[in-house]
Amino acid sequence: MLGADLRVAGLTPLARELLSHAVSIAPTNLDTPPTRALLTLLADQLTNDPKDALQLPLPVDPTARAVATSIMSNPASELAVQLRAANASQRTIERRFKSETLLSLGQWRRRSRILAAVGLLARGDSVTDTALTVGYSSPSAFVSAFKSELGAPPREFMRS
């Protein structure tokens, strides 16, 4: 049976060549330094997929999931308000997000806001309107977060 976390991964040219070489020498002997180095580099290439920024894993815990749902439905809302509505402490939710999504609550919230912004930009909203709608205090703060999360400023990202 396949694992529940199975997903398709895009391969960079380097990752494709590393994978091809690893398959050609299979079965591999993990006792040799070159094989260990090859597999370490391949694993690094697969875990640093830039498309990962477009995924938003959801927590399983019901309280953490309620906070996540609140963040997604109202990205501009204050975190304290969202935590209070879910009757949750920030420390508890921080731990649950980190263990269940592998992202801190802050990282998860920022990614959620940026993904909401992509939808708004795709429908034609301006960068300024989008920044304010998803909860950033200024367009420059939004552009900085967007670029940090997706690797390009909003307009450039949307053109590509």
Q: What is the residue-level pLDDT of the chain in tens, covering all 160 positions?
A: 444 454 545 566 777 788 888 888 877 677 788 888 888 888 877 765 545 557 788 999 999 999 999 999 999 999 999 999 999 999 999 999 999 988 899 999 999 999 999 999 999 999 999 999 999 999 999 999 999 888 889 999 888 7
Q: pTM of this prediction? A: 0.67
Q: Which two tokens stand for residue 83?
A: 């935590």
pLDDT score of 11: 60
pLDDT score of 28: 67
pLDDT score of 18: 81
Name the CA dihedral angle for 132, 138, 139, 141, rounded to a multiple of 10 degrees: -120
Task: In whole angstroms, give the CA distance from residue 134 to residue 73.
Answer: 10
Residue 135, Cβ density class (10 Å: 0-12 exposed, 13-18 middle, ≥19 buried): buried
> What is the amino acid identity at position 74?
N
Helices (H), 74-126: 79-85, 90-101, 105-122
Which of 142, 127, 114 is closest to 56 using CA atoms? 114
pLDDT score of 155: 92
> What is the amino acid identity at position 35?
T
Determine the length of the chain: 160
